Homo-oligomer: A and B are copies of this chain.
Amino acid sequence: MIGQLNHIAIAVPNLEEAANVYRNILGAKVTDPVALPEHGVTTVFVELPNTKIELLEALGDDSPIAGFVERNPKGGMHHICLEVEDIMEARDKLIAEGAHFAGSDEPKNGAHNKPVLFMHPKDFCGTLIELEQV
């Protein structure tokens, strides 16, 4: 069912500092920040040859990553995003398996404007998994 690793997301307290770590210390290609107020985050992508690291900073009062950054003041790995071909087929298979969703089991358009679902860490080895239809 799952395909490529689309990205690993790392939530950080300061996006500019985090981008500098990846750009200047690790010598990676890093995109400019993009604010996504409807998702409560500002994002920067670290473009690796085979996948991406998404650096996330909380934006606004209701950011979904605010609590995580409070618990992890230096930042930390927040989720991984795995690609699926058909999100409704994946959703139905996961429901049949008894897996739990983090939030709704209705796909919503994610930060890349593609339908996504979040799977609850308790069923996936303590890892928050975003499924994205590509």
Contact = CB atoms under 8 A, between A and B. Distances in A.
A21 B94 CA distance: 11
Interface of A: 1-5, 8, 10, 12, 18, 21, 24-28, 48-51, 53, 55, 72, 74-77, 80, 82, 93-94, 97, 99, 121-127, 129
B2 A48 contact: yes
B126 A72 contact: yes
A93 B24 CA distance: 10
A26 to B, nearest CB: 5
Contact of A8 (B3, B8, B55): B8
A76 B8 contact: no
Contacts of A80: 8, 53, 77
A77 B127 contact: yes
A7 to B, nearest CB: 10
Given A8-B5, A27-B2, A80-B8, A21 B51 contact: no
